[in-house]
Amino acid sequence: MSSCLTRRLIAFLIDVALAYVLFFAAAWLWPAWAEPVGVDPAPLLLLITFAVRALPELVWRRSPGKMILRLDAVGPRWAPLVRHSWLWLPVPLALALPAVPWYSILAIVLGLSAVLAPDGRSGADRLARTTVIARGRGCALPG
């Protein structure tokens, strides 16, 4: 795995860890939303993960994990909303087929799409027309 993909994975894990901390705090306030849907995570966790990842990218072009690892998402202003929209798909899919782990399947598909792509861009990056670059050393602009 390239250095850029490793940094992106670590940034993702930092964002998810932050989302879990916020989720456990919010679960006390809204226990009904903290219940999982089928075998997928709770809708509240997916909402918080979306907020932790997409909203900072709208404002500062990077999530908390990307800030720590000095990565930027370059693309259209609306791109974070599209890049992270896959976090909402498991909820309606789990209501239709609750025995299928939709969140895990989508996360694996997006991760593999980044690993298998020669430029390291995931399917969500391509859909949103974005590229994640590193400030300083590491990843470079495509082209």
Q: Which residue has the higher pLDDT, 101 or 33?
A: 101
- Location of structure tokens 């602009």: 141
Residue 140 forms part of a structural domain: no
Residue 143 forms part of a structural domain: no
Residue 142 forms part of a structural domain: no
Residue 97 has pLDDT above 90, yes or no: no
Backbone angles phi, psi at 107, to 5 degrees: -65, -40
Q: How many separate domains does the chain show?
A: 1
Q: How far, CA to CA in Å, does 132 sit from each of 5, 32, 45, 72, 140?
A: 10, 36, 24, 6, 9
Tokens of 31: 């226990």
43-60 and 3-29 helices, crossing angle to 10°: 130
Predicted pLDDT of residue 137:
55
Residue 88 forms part of a structural domain: yes
Q: Which residue has the higher pLDDT, 110 or 41?
A: 110
Percent of the chain with pLDDT over 70: 93
Domain region containing 51: 3-134
Residue 43 forms part of a structural domain: yes
Cα Rg for the chain, rounded, in angstroms?
15
Per residue in 107-132, pLDDT tens?
Answer: 899 889 888 888 888 888 888 998 88
Residue 141 forms part of a structural domain: no
